[in-house]
């Protein structure tokens, strides 16, 4: 058997799960490094929530192994879950009680310090509304309360299923800043699924993509974008776009409606293009950098995965 990698906080090996004789997860080998903020991406029905439930022992997998903190999950279940907190799917809250009372229930069940209640309310920005009944909360406030409950035990590993779902833009920024702070200051590894690609790009150090139960990619986020979108592009508007596209053809230039798009890997590449255009006596009206983003990489890997 392959030795356990102690640098990984989550590892799965050949994880399979089927429902009604239909395969939902296929040979998933997930590797989540200690100290990372790990984004788990995929379309609806791709297998994200099923994977998270398998990691937490909430469903019985067909075959395969789950390791947390370098230990096999089922043989060490209680000890591993004491170091882990999770927020899975929609928040499960006592709506007729206040936020404080919801947190008190968790505090008593898990025998935690009562002082922790005030700390987590402050962390998620609910101190002012802590005595309101939860049924008066917005969707975003309920999401933040659910996250507060997950943070009560000061987890080393935080597993979140769509944690920014239902939040307004300011709430999204608050949660992003909170997770970043927890990761850096409390050394908490964060594993989260999300469909908001822009936030994954801003927040995560690593990413994995799943579709139709198959793991299509995993690794650090910069390697992901480099692999599936080899370079950023520069957009050039010139006095003779046709001629410029021919001059820069070997650089990968593409003639578009009113400009030329050329991929590049460094600032020196841009300077070289501009020199060559100037040397040809062609006027340059505009130069604009068009950065790669996670969305274009994500769409490319889904297309590639669908064709493989």
DSSP secondary structure string for all residues of 155-204:
-SEEEEESTTTT--HHHHHHHHHHHHHHHHHS--EEEEE-S-HHHHHHH-
Task: Clarify whether residues 266 and 144 are in a common domain.
Answer: no
Residues in the chain: 308
Q: What pLDDT shows up at residue 236?
A: 94
The 232-238 sheet, strands edge to edge: 254-255, 260-264, 232-238, 284-290
Helix or strand run (H / E) with residue 52: helix 48-55
- pLDDT of 119 reads 94
152 and 219 inside one domain: yes
**pLDDT at 226 (0 to 100):** 63
| Domain limits for position 284 | 231-291
Q: For residue 133, what is the DSSP state? A: B
The C-alpha atoms of residue 143 and residue 162 are separated, in whole angstroms, by: 10
Q: 57 and 191: one domain? A: yes
Residue 15: what pLDDT? 95
CA distance 265 to 233: 9
CA–CA dist 70, 5 (Å, integer): 7
Q: How many domains does the chain have?
A: 2
Global pTM reads: 0.77
Q: What is the pLDDT of residues 28-57, one digit of tens each?
A: 999 999 999 999 998 888 899 999 999 999
Residue 178 shares a structural domain with residue 80: yes
8 Å CB contact between 58 and 213: no
pLDDT at residue number 245 = 92
299 belongs to a structural domain: no
> What's the pLDDT score for residue 280?
95
Residue 236 and residue 161 in one domain: no
Instruction: Establish if 302 belongs to a structural domain.
Output: no
Mark whether 218 and 146 lie in a shared domain.
yes
Mark whether 14 and 144 lie in a shared domain. Answer: yes
pLDDT at 57: 93
Counting other chains too, the contacts that 258-267 makes at CB distance below 8 Å and 24 or more residues apart are 259/235, 259/286, 260/235, 260/236, 261/233, 261/234, 261/235, 261/236, 261/290, 262/233, 262/234, 262/236, 263/230, 263/231, 263/232, 263/233, 264/231, 264/232, 264/233, 264/234, 265/231
Residue 28 to residue 12: CA distance in whole angstroms: 7
Q: What are phi and psi of 290, to 5 degrees?
A: -115, 105
Is 297 part of a structural domain of the chain? no
Q: What is the Cα–Cα distance from 261 to 286, expressed in whole angstroms?
A: 12
Q: What is the CATH number of the domain that holds 283?
A: 3.30.70
Residue at 306 is within a domain: no
Percent of the chain predicted with pLDDT > 90: 59
Same domain? 221 vs 236: no
Does residue 163 sit in the same domain as residue 254? no
User: What pLDDT is stored for residue 277 in this prediction?
Assistant: 95
What parts of the chain have a pLDDT lower than 50? Answer: 308
Instruction: Report the pLDDT value the prediction gives residue 228, as an integer from 0 to 100.
Output: 65
CATH of the domain at 222: 3.40.50.300
Task: Say yes or no: 248 and 164 in one domain.
Answer: no
User: What b/e string do you get for 111-136 counting C-beta neighbours within 10 Å, with b at 16 or more?
Assistant: ebeeebbeebbebbbbeebbeeebee
Has residue 307 been placed in a domain? Answer: no
Confirm whether 192 is domain-assigned.
yes
């Amino acid at each position: 058997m392959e030795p356990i990698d102690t640098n990984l906080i989550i590892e799965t090996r050949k994880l399979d799960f089927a429902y009604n004789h239909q395969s939902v997860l296929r040979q998933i080998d997930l590797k989540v490094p200690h100290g990372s903020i790990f984004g788990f991406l995929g379309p609806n029905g791709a297998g994200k929530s099923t994977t998270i439930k398998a990691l937490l022992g909430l469903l019985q997998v067909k075959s395969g192994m789950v390791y947390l903190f370098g230990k096999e999950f089922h043989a060490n279940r209680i000890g591993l879950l004491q170091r882990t907190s999770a927020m899975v799917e929609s928040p499960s809250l006592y709506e007729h009680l206040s936020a404080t009372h919801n947190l008190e229930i968790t505090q008593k069940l898990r025998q935690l310090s009562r002082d922790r209640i005030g700390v987590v309310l402050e962390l998620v920005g609910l101190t002012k509304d802590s005595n309101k009944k939860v049924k008066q909360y917005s969707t975003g406030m309920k999401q933040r309360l659910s996250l507060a409950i997950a943070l009560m035990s000061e987890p080393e590993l935080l597993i979140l299923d769509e944690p920014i779902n239902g939040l307004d833009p300011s709430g999204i920024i608050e949660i992003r800043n909170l997770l970043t702070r927890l990761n850096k200051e409390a050394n908490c590894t964060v594993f989260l699924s999300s469909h908001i690609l822009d936030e994954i790009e801003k927040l995560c150090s690593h990413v994995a993509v799943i579709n139709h139960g198959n793991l299509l990619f995993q690794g650090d986020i910069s390697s992901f974008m480099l692999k599936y979108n080899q370079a950023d592009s520069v957009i050039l508007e010139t006095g003779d776009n046709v001629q410029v596209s021919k001059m820069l053809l070997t650089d990968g230039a593409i003639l578009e409606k009113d400009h030329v798009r050329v991929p590049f890997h460094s600032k020196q590449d841009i300077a070289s293009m501009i020199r060559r255009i100037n040397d040809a006596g062609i006027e340059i009206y505009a130069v604009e950098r068009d950065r790669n983003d996670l969305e274009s990489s994500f769409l490319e890997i889904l297309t590639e995965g669908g064709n493989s």
